[in-house]
Structure 1
Amino acid sequence: MPAPIRDRLPRLLRELAKFGTVGGVAYVVQLAATNLFWLVLDAPPLVGQALGVLIATVVAFLGNRFWTFAHRARTGLGREYLLFFLFNAVGLGIQLACLGVSVYLLGLDGPLARNIAGNVVGVGLGSLFRFYAYRQWVFPDAGEPEAAAPGPQPESAPRASEPS
């Protein structure tokens, strides 16, 4: 195994384990909230799913910011919160697409089918996207400032002591 990969692997695995733990807690919160909205409050499928995800997102942000990625650069609470919710909105879109296909295209609308489509398949695919996005843009590595925000970065001006 190449040295750069071998040296980074332990940290990546620690982050992945913490991300999974935080995600597991947020997942339980999301399952409970979503099913509460569906079964107790009789919310429509997509509304109940969206509200459950919103509640779980707050739990996930706190766990990821203060535990999973606590060792990474702090780029400002407002910026991190905004990007976290933006990328969670994309993850929610992935989740809702899975649920929508199941309910509205395939006609699988029972509680089990909803949970499998939205809370297993949708969460799994959305989580892969979220982990990448959080590491890359929300909580960038302190040693990689170019990963601080998506898109092109402005070039910094040379210091007086540096040749132009």
Structure 2
Amino acid sequence: MPGVLTPDQTTQEDPASPASAGTSVPAGAAQHPSTARRDRLAALLAEHLRPTATFLLVGGVVFLLDAAMYNLLVFWSPSQGWGAGLMHGSPLTAKLLTIAVASCLTYLGNRFWTFGDRPRPDTTRSIVLFILVNLIAAGLQLSCLGFSRYVLGLDSVLADNISGTLVGQVVSTSFRYVTYGRLVFPKR
């Protein structure tokens, strides 16, 4: 009978039409391209949002620790207070020491929290790759500080913190995020 639908018959209306607002597309029917894109975006966010947020939180805590340790080593003297610290003449060595401590804490935070849901990789392989990635990242961070200190001639607290701690940290953290997820703590 024309115009009457039996329970096993369905129609597919134009998703943009007002008549179809609030109706669902029958199972097996193709999704509208914008809905498929939205679903892919939601899945991508669900997959990457938590790890990214926890990675940044771990990194933020370690960043503060790194900055505090560096400033104490380079700009604070136990006898004279703030100014020229014990390692003021060796900022790259001081930064290397703080990066080493920060890297150990970063490994623990990322292994057990950020990427804790991933299968445990071979520990030796994971640690060796972690050390390799961090050596490269430390080189990126030290190059920012070295450029500021030795090429531009800037050695103030502000200059060191902008170049070595802030800019260097952004560059090295970006590199670490990409390589940790792919090499150090892989999904499979």
- TM-score exceeds 0.5: yes
Distance 2:136 2:41 in 1: 29
Tell me the secondary structure at the aligned position of residue 174 of structure 2.
helix
Tell me the secondary structure at the aligned position of residue 23 of structure 1.
helix
The answer as to 2:109 corresponding to 1:63 is yes
Q: Offset at 1:49?
A: 0.6
What TM-score, normalized to structure 1? 0.81
Could you list the runs of 5+ residues in structure 1 that have no partner in the other structure? 143-164
Partner of 1:14: 50
The 4+ residue runs of structure 1 with deviation greater than 6 A are: none
Which structure has greater helix proportion? 1
Partner of 2:98: 52
Moved more, 9-18 or 31-40: 31-40
Deviations 1:20-70 (CA, angstroms, capped at 9, x unpaired):
000011111111221222123521110111101110111100000000000
Q: Offset at 1:76?
A: 1.8
The answer as to 2:66 corresponding to 1:30 is yes
What TM-score, normalized to structure 2? 0.71
For residues 106-121 of structure 1, the aligned pairs below 5 Å read 106-121=152-167
Tell me the secondary structure at the aligned position of residue 126 of structure 1.
helix
Could you list the runs of 5+ residues in structure 2 that have no partner in the other structure? 1-36, 78-84
Q: Aligned letter for 1:107?
A: G
Distance 2:124 2:65 in 1: 24
Deviations 1:122-150 (CA, angstroms, capped at 9, x unpaired):
000111000000001000013xxxxxxxx
Moved more, 118-127 or 76-85: 76-85
Distance 1:83 1:30 in 2: 22
Deviations 1:5-31 (CA, angstroms, capped at 9, x unpaired):
542321211100000000011111111
Instruction: Give the RMSD, CA atoms, in angstroms.
Output: 1.4
Distance 1:101 1:54 in 2: 20
Moved more, 69-78 or 16-25: 69-78
Larger Rg: 2
Q: Aligned letter for 2:108?
A: L
The answer as to 2:184 corresponding to 1:138 is yes
Please say if residues 88 and 130 of structure 1, whose CA atoms lie closer than 8 Å, have aligned partners that are also in contact: yes
Choose the corresponding residue for 2:131, options 65, 82, 85: 85
Aligned residues: 142
Partner of 2:14: none
Deviations 1:59-113 (CA, angstroms, capped at 9, x unpaired):
1000000000001121122221111121011111110111111111111111110
Please say if residues 98 and 121 of structure 1, whose CA atoms lie closer than 8 Å, have aligned partners that are also in contact: yes
Please say if residues 29 and 55 of structure 1, whose CA atoms lie closer than 8 Å, have aligned partners that are also in contact: no
